[in-house]
Structures are given as C-alpha cells and as structure tokens.
Structure 1
C-alpha cells in the first residue's frame, strides 16, 4: 500500500489525512469529513446508524469515507479516533455533556431573566473548559509568532464575528501593532484588503454560514502570498482550509443563540500573549544597555 493510501495510525494522522484529501472528496464525503473533525467523540463511540442520523448521511456513506481515507472499514477508523480520545480523555465527553445540557435546559426552560442567565453561564462554562483542551499549545504559540512577525496585520470578520474582529483590531492597535481593520464600510472590503503583501498577516474570524466578504478577503490574501490565521468553527471551513494556521472554536448554543465567549477568550489570550512577547523583546535591549553601563563604571 502506498503512503498516500496508508491508513492513518493515530488521530493526528487521521486529521492530517482528512485535511489533505478534503478537496478531492465528493460533497457527501466532505460532509462526513467535517462531522468527523467536529465531533470525533461521537464518531468514536456511536454506531454507524447514529452517526449517519446525526450527520445526515447513510451508514454506507461512512464506510465509503473510511475507505477513501485508507481504512479497510469504518470500525477501524473509529478505533483510531477512540484511541486518540482516550489519550486526551478530558475532551472525551464534551459533545455528550452538551447534549445533556441541552436536554436539561429544555426540561426546565424557565422564562425568568435569572433562568436565562443561568443557562448562558452554564453553556459557556462548558465551551470555555473545552477550549482549553481543544487548542493545541504549539498552535497557540504559532499564532502569536505570526502576529509578531507580520509587518501589518489585517483583521476581518463580519456579522456574528464582527464583535470579535473589532475587539482584536482595537487591541492590536492599542499595542502599537500596525493594523488594518477590514470592516467593509461602503462596500469597500476588496479595496481595504487589496494592499496586503507577502510580509503581512490576515486574521479572519468566521462561522457558519461564512460571510462572502470574509471568504473573498482570505482568497485575496492567499493570492498576494500573505499568511492567514483563521479562527473558525471547522478546520475545513472555506476560510480555515486554505489558512496558514487554523484555530477551531466550538461555541455554546443556548436557545438557538450561539455565544461568542470561547472565541473572545481565545482572541484575548492571543493578544495578551503577544503583548507579553513584545514587552519582553523591548526589555532585552534595556537590560543589555544597563549591564554595559555597569561594566563601564566598574
């Protein structure tokens, strides 16, 4: 069996294989690929019938997907995912906890403001705890480095993503990082992003359904050979798939309203980490100069 068709041996290899072969898959298999990436614990633990029902496909399509990735069977794929989840057991029950939370919320479904607040707090706590396990430390480090190395940072995010993108642009500007906030005022999104170059970085924040303006901004950045840092709800979204680095966020959904707490927390962590990095870099020359002066005096 060639290396291209070799079955992934770990969950990380499976994730890489899906991302690598995603564009070559049919739309139906892409639908399954997204479900596997977004809900690995469900894929690992549920039957094919349940997985098919939740992902909107026939069980036979799941078998075809597994074989397209290199496995002999769907059960072989499930075992690889299950082994990976056991190694990172803190994330194992997240989807199940979310389902239990939704069921409990529907059962009590109080209409008092205090009840609504309690539901949002509980749902966001679940999402925030999952964020800590979901984001890889190396990816977080890489995100900070991308910002530090960029000559100019362009920030884009429309509709539901707008509060996050505007906060991110504001915070970077407060840190004296050269930043362009692509807000599309007057329909000028294309003009605002047009000057991006290979030494620049585009940070996009985008969730389903993905704004056309954000997708176009990502395409422009890539065409201009700029780096792209994508914050999205799926690793195979039209903004995350072509990105230099993609960070996936799973937000809480309460009473059909999706929160932004986890996304805002992630963005704040990135910005504050960049601020620490900048402060440390600025402190080094001062320490070097002070040491040299002391040597001269002595």
Structure 2
C-alpha cells in the first residue's frame, strides 16, 4: 500500500513502462505536475492531461488506490511535507490570471519563476552538481545539444564553457545535420543534452546513439520518465512551472550557470 508521496513517486516511475498508453500519459503528467494532481479537480486534470475522468480513476486503481480521492491525498501529502507553500501560491496565481482577461500576466510569470528556482534549490540537483563536474573535468571535449524551447540553455552553456578554456561545441543541427554532428563525438567526450516536453526527437535520438557508443551523457530534463533520463550518467530533473500554457527557463538557466561556475572553480583547484 502506498502511504507517502515518495512511495507514490517511486511507484509512478516503476509502473510507467508497463502501463497502457493512456495511463502512461497520466503518469507522465503526474510526475511533471504533482501540484496539479494535489490541488485540481478530476475534471480539470482530465482536460489538462487529455485523458477522460474514468481514465483517472483507472489510473488510481492501477496504482493500488481505491479511487481518485485516495490517490490525491498522497499527492497532497507531498505538497504539504516535501514542497513549501509556493506551489499553492502558484495555484492561486494561475486562478487569478485566468480571471483577468486582457490584463498583463507578468506577476504570474514572476511567481512561477520564483517557485521554480526555490524548488531547484531544494532538489537533489545541488547534490548532483559535483558528479556532473567530475565528468566534465575528466572529458576531452564537451558537446551541448538542444532544440526549440531548450536551445537558449544549450547556447548559453556552449558560450560560457568556452570562456573557461574548455573545448565546447554547440550541436545546433543547422541544415538538418544534427545526426552528422553527433557522430563526431568520441569516447572521452561528454554530451550535455537538454530536453523538456514535448521532447525534441532529434535530441532523444542523439542521446540514444551516443550512449550506445559508451559516451557519457549529462541530461537536463524534467522527469525520471523523460526519454533522455535513463541513458544519462547524471540527470538533473528541473521543474519549470507553467502559467497559461507557457513555461520559462528560469530554473534551467540558473542550473546551467551553477554548473559552469562550479566547473570553473574546480578547474582553478586542479591548475
């Protein structure tokens, strides 16, 4: 019987590969939006996850709960004991912004950015920085890959790493050459891959190919069921809260900056 949010999260990750398509879709939504699962009605969740309310009930029962209400209690336990009240603040900001048609939503985006950064500061990403830095220090060359919404993070990383005197290459896929650029990675290189929903298939394919050749992958993504998570030696799970269908890159850029500065400090120590 699932009794805590942590047990629930582990159950979601473990069950994900074996769940039917629609239930797997709910699992992915639940891992990406645990605050919604804790606070919203079944009708709202069904609309946002694009699965029927009866599907939500089947999902809860597949995890061993008697129904949706019992499952939601576990998500609320996570909200109360593992996350501070900034999630509730974001929920309130979303509700307010949805009723203010035609007015600026800047404050809602500011609140979402603050919440995302606070979550980053309390997540395991801080502990993983040293492991990622170890891999980057030992690498011969660093390659950075992302597409679409995640591309600004990759562009910044390539720029900043270059200023540390480390060979850093941005895989931009110009001219449809993403795969060809990926084939230039060698055994002692490291790939920094960034991808968030809906996950750029070019990046997913690149990560799978590179990992199959024994090359180290460091991933910046959103969830343990992300398609680039399993192949990564180190995987950062970054929560970017959504407002009105839009997500900023506040936490992702902060993590990128922290990674670069941590690497720079380590390089100073070994010189």
Residues 72-119 of structure 1: per-residue CA shift (max 9 Å, x gap): 5345544544444433241x551x4323223333444566xxx56555
Q: Which stretch of the first structure deviates more once superposed, 210-219 or 129-138?
A: 129-138
CA shift for structure 1 position 31 = 0.9
Partner of 1:125: 114
What secondary structure, in the 3-state scheme, does the structure 2 residue paired with 1:154 have? strand
Higher RCO (C-alpha under 8 Å, 6+ residues apart): 2
Residues 65 and 149 (structure 1), Cα distance of their counterparts in 2 relative to 1, 3 Å cut: farther
Unaligned runs of 5+ in 2: none
Q: Distance in 1 between matches of 2:174 and 2:40?
A: 47
Residues 86 and 98 (structure 1), Cα distance of their counterparts in 2 relative to 1, 3 Å cut: closer
Q: Which stretch of the first structure deviates more once superposed, 20-29 or 36-45?
A: 36-45
Task: Note if contact 2:125-2:237 (Cα within 8 Å) is conserved in structure 1.
Answer: no
| From 89, 103, 115, the counterpart of 1:97 | 89
CA shift for structure 1 position 254 = 5.2
Partner of 2:162: 173
Q: Distance in 2 between matches of 1:80 and 1:125?
A: 25
Residues 106-162 of structure 1: per-residue CA shift (max 9 Å, x gap): 444566xxx565554344233323332345432333333332333332210112222
Q: Distance in 1 between matches of 2:110 and 2:36?
A: 24
Task: Note if contact 1:19-1:241 (Cα within 8 Å) is conserved in structure 2.
Answer: no
What secondary structure, in the 3-state scheme, does the structure 2 residue paired with 1:23 have? helix
| From 189, 197, 202, the counterpart of 1:208 | 197
Residues 148 and 81 (structure 1), Cα distance of their counterparts in 2 relative to 1, 3 Å cut: farther
Answering whether residue 209 of structure 2 is matched by residue 239 of structure 1, we say no
Residues 72 and 218 (structure 1), Cα distance of their counterparts in 2 relative to 1, 3 Å cut: same
| From 155, 179, 196, the counterpart of 2:185 | 196
Q: Which stretch of the first structure deviates more once superposed, 32-41 or 54-63?
A: 54-63
What secondary structure, in the 3-state scheme, does the structure 1 residue paired with 2:35 have? helix
Q: TM-score if structure 2 supplies the norm length?
A: 0.82
Residues 212 and 42 (structure 1), Cα distance of their counterparts in 2 relative to 1, 3 Å cut: closer
Task: Note if contact 2:94-2:108 (Cα within 8 Å) is conserved in structure 1.
Answer: no
| From 4, 26, 35, the counterpart of 1:41 | 35
Q: Which stretch of the first structure deviates more once superposed, 42-51 or 162-171?
A: 42-51
Output aligned runs, 1:1-298, within 5 Å: 7-8=1-2, 10-44=4-38, 48=42, 51-69=45-63, 71-74=64-67, 77-90=71-84, 93-94=86-87, 96-108=88-100, 115=104, 118=107, 120-253=109-242, 256-282=245-271
Residues 207-240 of structure 1: per-residue CA shift (max 9 Å, x gap): 2232222122112112212222221233323233
Partner of 1:291: none
Question: How many residues are treated as equivalent by the alignment?
Answer: 270
CA-atom RMSD, angstroms? 3.0
